[in-house]
Amino acid sequence: GAVVSQHPSRVICKSGTSVKIECRSLDFQATTMFWYRQFPKKSLMLMATSNEGSKATYEQGVEKDKFLINHASLTLSTLTVTSAHPEDSSFYICSASDGTGNSPLHFGNGTRLTVT
Amino acid sequence: SQQGEEDPQALSIQEGENATMNCSYKTSINNLQWYRQNSGRGLVHLILIRSNEREKHSGRLRVTLDTSKKSSSLLITASRAADTASYFCALGRSNYQLIWGAGTKLIIKP
């Protein structure tokens, strides 16, 4: 149980275009979802926290107008990278929580974004 | 720094040997979690140990927590080639967010 599906796994796009990444909890209701960015050989960098039906909370230094997060239902959150730039190329991972602070997070398999 | 600090950064051992990774931190925690990440993939939860627990086992995994020293260790016994991955500790606070360590890259040589 507790499966999180993230799609697409890989995407290549041209500079200036927008890319949408979906994160779905398949067998549980995700009250909170987290979006991370991971640089090569580095740890996870939290970008934002989203709760169903409310605006996402962005971490310091993350541009909310560039990384649009929507958490429209208890099973789906989306991250849209707008006006993509080569520096946005990275590994993006979502995770979902089904409970309180003592619950483990369930992760998607990540999306490798390459902006050319 | 509030984040977990892991050591070693990289560890290479022979198959069958035990692997030990450590995580130290400076903040207060509700729990400490260990995750595993295979290259280019998402993270998989391994073990959660609460702040009032000292040791926890799951199969070949053993996690200890010493809140007085603010440190935790993850022991993998009888390592296998399939254990090759990066291992992260994550500090669980009073809210639902996790503070992540930098990870230990473990390589098991066949």
Q: Tell me what pLDDT residue B59 has.
A: 96
B14 bridge partner residues: B109
What is the torsion angle, in degrees rounded to the nearest 10, for the CA atoms of residue A11, residue A58, residue A1 and residue B49? Answer: 130
Q: Is the pLDDT of residue B1 over 50?
A: no
Is residue A108 within 8 Å of residue B45, measured between CB atoms? no
Residue of chain A minimizing CA distance to B87: A43
CB atoms A101 and B30 under 8 Å: yes
* Listed range (A97-111, B10-24, B27-41, B56-70) with the worst mean pLDDT: A97-111
A110 contact residues in B (CB cutoff 8 A): 40-42
Sign of the alpha-carbon dihedral angle for B36, B42, B47, B49: positive
Q: Tell me what pLDDT residue A103 has.
A: 76
A-contacting residues in B 34-63 (Cβ below 8 Å): 35, 40-45, 48, 50
A34 contact residues in B (CB cutoff 8 A): 97
CB atoms B97 and A46 under 8 Å: yes
- Where is A41: in which H helix or E strand? none
Which residue intervals of A34-113 are DSSP H helices?
none
pLDDT tens for each residue of B80-110:
999 999 999 999 887 667 888 889 999 999 9
pLDDT tens for each residue of A95-106:
998 776 567 889
Our CA-based measurement puts residue B45 at a distance from the nearest CA of chain A, in whole angstroms, of: 7
Residue of chain B minimizing CA distance to A40: B40
> Which residues have CB under 8 Å from B60's CB, separation 6+?
B76, B77, B78
B40 bridge partner residues: none
CB atoms B88 and A44 under 8 Å: yes
B40 contact residues in A (CB cutoff 8 A): 91, 110, 112
Is residue B105 within 8 Å of residue B9, measured between CB atoms? yes
The dihedrals phi and psi of A88, each to the nearest 5 degrees, come to -80, -10
Q: Is A21 helix (H, G, I), strand (E, B) or coil?
A: strand
CB atoms B96 and A32 under 8 Å: yes
B65 touches chain A (CB under 8 A): no
Mean pLDDT score, B4-22: 93
* Listed range (A50-59, A84-93, B60-69) with the worst mean pLDDT: A50-59
